């Protein structure tokens, strides 16, 4: 039997992002790494619904030298202590590296699919940037978009705009309860 997963972006979805001139940035200290309200409850509910919780995060500050791999690992250790996460995938690259893992490319999702035997048609992605949504769309996952109106391009449809992690999980629960047979939500 194949697993189903919720793929979670990290900064701005699970933990607080820091906005500077309309752009989203990750925390710079472990003290700044704070989970957003309702995140733990949303992740717990996802587990109750039988989903794997898998984080997929671009962390280009590692390659650019603005952050260390140890700091990112420390943030993830804290995340794992606070919330029911099954796995975390990190792309440390910048756009210049032309890797296959940096979102909007779906490399991290494909890697998780292989490791965890995931049925992507029964899985969802939750993100706050166009890169997240396009990565999910590339592998045919239904996508939820937390729109913070960043100063960057908006994602292409289809996606469902939501106001919180909790709302995304509530919508998934309702679909599962009703035995929905289509992957995508009606707008």
Q: What is the pLDDT of residues 64-109, one digit of tens each?
A: 999 999 999 999 999 999 999 999 999 999 989 999 999 999 999 9
* Residue 56 covered by a domain: yes
* Residue 115 covered by a domain: yes
* Residue 33 covered by a domain: yes
pLDDT at 182 over 60: no
Q: What percent of the chain has pLDDT over 70?
A: 95
Q: What are the phi and psi torsion angles at 102 (to 5°)?
A: -70, 120
Q: Which residues contact 121 (CB under 8 A, 6 or more apart)?
A: 140, 183
Mean pLDDT of 46-74: 96
Q: What percent of the chain has pLDDT over 90?
A: 90
Sign, CA torsion 18/129/177/83: negative
* Residue 186 covered by a domain: no
CB 142 within 8 A of CB 148: no
Local confidence band at 184 (pLDDT 50, 70, 90 cut-offs): low
Mean pLDDT of 59-63: 94
For the record, the structure tokens of 81 come out as 């202590």
Sign, CA torsion 37/40/45/51: positive
**Best CA proximity match to 184, nearest among 157, 163, 166, 164:** 157
DSSP 118: B
pLDDT at 28 over 60: yes
* Residue 155 covered by a domain: yes
* Residue 39 covered by a domain: yes
Mean pLDDT of 10-33: 95
Q: What is the pLDDT of residue 185?
A: 53
* Residue 119 covered by a domain: yes
Local confidence band at 176 (pLDDT 50, 70, 90 cut-offs): confident
- CATH number for 169: 3.40.50.1000
Domain of 46, in residue numbers: 4-177
Q: Per the structure, how many domains does the chain have?
A: 1
Average pLDDT, the chain: 93
* Residue 67 covered by a domain: yes
User: What is the spatial distance between Cα 47 and Cα 104, in angstroms, rounded to a whole number?
Assistant: 26
For the record, the structure tokens of 96 come out as 């210049």
CB 165 within 8 A of CB 39: yes
């Amino acid at each position: 039997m194949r697993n189903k997963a919720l793929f979670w972006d990290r900064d701005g979805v699970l933990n607080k992002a820091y906005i500077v001139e309309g752009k989203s940035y990750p925390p710079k200290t472990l003290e700044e790494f704070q989970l957003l309200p309702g995140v733990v409850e949303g992740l717990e509910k996802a587990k109750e619904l039988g989903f794997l919780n898998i984080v997929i995060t671009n962390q280009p500050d590692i390659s650019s030298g603005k952050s260390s791999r140890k700091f990112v690992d420390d943030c993830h250790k804290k995340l794992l202590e606070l919330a029911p996460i099954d796995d975390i995938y990190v792309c440390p690259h910048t756009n210049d590296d032309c890797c296959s893992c940096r979102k909007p490319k779906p490399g991290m999702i494909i890697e998780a699919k292989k490791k965890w035997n995931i049925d992507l048609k029964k899985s969802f992605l939750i993100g706050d940037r166009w890169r997240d949504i396009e990565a999910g769309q590339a592998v045919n996952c239904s996508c939820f978009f937390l729109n913070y109106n960043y100063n960057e391009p908006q994602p292409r449809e289809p996606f469902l705009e939501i106001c919180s992690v909790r709302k995304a999980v509530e919508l998934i629960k309702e679909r599962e309860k009703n035995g929905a047979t289509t992957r995508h939500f009606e707008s």
